[in-house]
Structure 1
């Protein structure tokens, strides 16, 4: 609205129809990226109404219908053409397409108006229309980081940036806990495909998986995926000490993510991906030594998963670890493991605080089976050449 008012003031300096240079697609594209299409369409209608009043051609009490149509169609084009929000280059591409559409809108309005214009006026009109689309894209890219930071909005573009392997925390996992890094990538593949199958945010799940075990970098050798050619250090520790080390990785991870100012959604996934599940191995080991041991002492502190993405990651994390530990798993064995883990989560009330349904769980199990079967499919063994 401020930009619109500035352009409106400039138009009073005897620059006819400079209102067409207003970046009509900027606000709709920003809202499309940061929120959703519905709010973007509502905003486009509001801007068109405001524009018709501000650019009233100095006639008191009148409205400019032409500029309202121009803003409405230009903004709508920006929303519809911004199909892939994952790359900033797509915003520039959308801006270019909006410029072309703006030119067609101008021709359409001039044709309907049947006005007599000089060649220089045609040039002005077309230049304003073309600049409007490009300006919309440039301002969208420029303003996006301010809105993301100011309102704490986790946009698709921000998630893409966080998925960059050169991020300091991802490099830390890769260098200090390579087994955990590989595990996280595998879990990300599972979680993303399952989230997309049930309409959840697949990209958020993928990026959340990359960071969910960052806490393991504090003591990487105490986690089995990083124990390559070394003795398991838990063999020399009491069950209680092992419990404290394993449980601490969720809290440690959340603290590290907060310290590096990662979005709250990513921090929540790191905190919630184990919920309040029981460390069964160390619990039963401790119970052999002391029958009066309290089960609650061997549970993660939680909280339980609060979103579909966190719940799916929680299941995918256990499924990947279980299947990876099997030698040459068949499709039936994979199905049994997935069914067992999901059933265990349900019986343990781990999914009670998120809005996931039983129907969605069936879709998730099927998706996990398909993805894991593709990863662990049997290969033909060729005889050794002599």
Structure 2
């Protein structure tokens, strides 16, 4: 038994061990953070370096090159972390084929060596998937980066913070879901990141969960809490939802890119309603405009700029009395032009062409939300339906009675008299006799 085990251990060559190196994990991680093109370039470099370590062996270079490229390719559209394990299994099977090809190329494919090569090759592929799955969240935390995998997880509306928003601030929740749809569609039109934009739209107003009744979309009882407050206090409450949102975002580890959007989605815009109200109460000179502006900063990314535009446009569209397509289009264009003229989009690299395409995308979605519906006839109640049938029967009976009175009863009408056909019969008989020559 000892001699057998020694023979088996002795048969493990350096090339067999090399097949078990999970080198593809590095290329898979690069693909996750920097997309497929960067991963392919990285795969070429790392494969050349590995081949040099193993005495310039071409089969080792080709093995790891195919290994790394296919590993990155299989996780490029990864939405769940289990995809890493599935990619690892597929990579292990591919590695077994590549190891066999390498053995055939070198002419060294004895039975024992081939078995060891297959075992290490499959373990190397599966290990690459496991290593990449474990390495990704560590790198996200270390570099404060949010991958698409994390964004897909955050886009789940069953997340605890979104469920809390739905229960405690339902108007804000519905507004946020609509914003997510609007910015996702607009991001696709202008070449931004639709997934990131949608997630930022979902979470941009989570700060309102702390004081939901002070925001009009959550005031279902018809009472406006701001009626009893000074305009300056109302402005402070509105401004505070940004700070509260940043704190909640950090507590829930949403990622810096989403927290930045929460902080930037109002920029330094003016809370005009309460500013004008304060001027009416105190006079223009007694009111500081800075007290009624959000602290900023202005949007720094295209996705943050989209959230700012959609937030203003969607909220303002609810105030339209008769939201026809032409009125919606004019309203959207006016609001976007106002935000652009105020300088809120100076730092987010949105061009005039982008703004035009964004307006078209917003128009399409808002027209779908506010389209006119036909009025469906109400179904009568059971009692009303029976009464209607009785009235129909009664009316029909009255009509029959009137007809009888007009024409008389059947008994009073003269019977039909039989027609007198005797003369006609006589003429027929005489005509026949003449033809026969009798008369």
User: How do residues 1-386 of structure 1 correspond to structure 2 at under 5 angstroms?
Assistant: 14=13, 16-56=15-55, 63-111=56-104, 113=105, 115=107, 117-289=109-281, 290-292=283-285, 293-327=287-321, 329-386=323-380
Q: Compute the displacement of 1:81 (Å).
A: 2.4
Partner of 2:420: none
> Rg larger in 1 or in 2?
2
Show structure 2 runs of 5+ residues with no match. Answer: 1-8, 381-439
Q: Is the 8 A contact 2:193 2:303 kept in 1?
A: yes
Moved more, 101-110 or 172-181: 101-110
**Which secondary structure state, in structure 2, belongs to the residue aligned with residue 17 of structure 1?**
helix
Q: Compute the displacement of 1:267 (Å).
A: 1.4
Q: Compute the displacement of 1:67 (Å).
A: 0.7
**Which secondary structure state, in structure 1, belongs to the residue aligned with residue 223 of structure 2?**
coil
Q: Compute the displacement of 1:363 (Å).
A: 1.4
Moved more, 39-48 or 11-20: 11-20
Q: Is the 8 A contact 1:11 1:18 kept in 2?
A: no
Partner Cα distance (1:307, 1:70) in 2: 41
Show structure 1 runs of 5+ residues with no match. Answer: 1-9, 57-62
Q: Is the 8 A contact 2:183 2:198 kept in 1?
A: yes
Q: Is the 8 A contact 1:328 1:378 kept in 2?
A: no
Q: Compute the displacement of 1:297 (Å).
A: 2.6
**Which secondary structure state, in structure 2, belongs to the residue aligned with residue 255 of structure 1?**
helix
**Which secondary structure state, in structure 2, belongs to the residue aligned with residue 304 of structure 1?**
coil
Q: Is the 8 A contact 2:92 2:125 kept in 1?
A: yes
Partner Cα distance (1:16, 1:32) in 2: 27
Q: Compute the displacement of 1:341 (Å).
A: 1.2
Q: 1:116 to 1:216 in 2, by over 3 A?
A: closer
Q: Is the 8 A contact 1:11 1:17 kept in 2?
A: no
Q: After superposition, give the CA deviation of every residue in 1:53-78 in whole Å (9 maximum; x if it has no partner).
A: 2333xxxxxx1211111111111111
Q: Compute the displacement of 1:365 (Å).
A: 1.2
Output the aligned Cα RMSD: 2.3
Partner of 1:3: none
Partner Cα distance (1:261, 1:55) in 2: 43
Partner Cα distance (1:123, 1:298) in 2: 74
Q: Compute the displacement of 1:227 (Å).
A: 0.1
- Compute the TM-score of the two structures, normalised by the length of structure 1: 0.89
Partner Cα distance (1:158, 1:166) in 2: 14
Moved runs in structure 1, 4+ residues, more than 4 A? Answer: 10-16
Q: Compute the displacement of 1:15 (Å).
A: 5.3
Q: Compute the displacement of 1:187 (Å).
A: 0.6
Q: Is the 8 A contact 2:145 2:256 kept in 1?
A: no
- Compute the TM-score of the two structures, normalised by the length of structure 2: 0.78
Q: Compute the displacement of 1:315 (Å).
A: 0.4
Partner of 2:429: none
Q: Compute the displacement of 1:140 (Å).
A: 1.0
Q: Is the 8 A contact 1:91 1:141 kept in 2?
A: yes
**Which secondary structure state, in structure 2, belongs to the residue aligned with residue 35 of structure 1?**
helix
Partner Cα distance (1:305, 1:116) in 2: 62
Q: Compute the displacement of 1:12 (Å).
A: 11
Q: Is the 8 A contact 1:11 1:19 kept in 2?
A: no
Q: After superposition, give the CA deviation of every residue in 1:163-216 in whole Å (9 maximum; x if it has no partner).
A: 344444323322221211111111111111211222212222222222211221
**Which secondary structure state, in structure 1, belongs to the residue aligned with residue 346 of structure 2?**
coil
Q: Is the 8 A contact 2:11 2:112 kept in 1?
A: no
Q: After superposition, give the CA deviation of every residue in 1:240-284 in whole Å (9 maximum; x if it has no partner).
A: 221111122112222332344432111111111011111111112
How many residues are paired up? 370
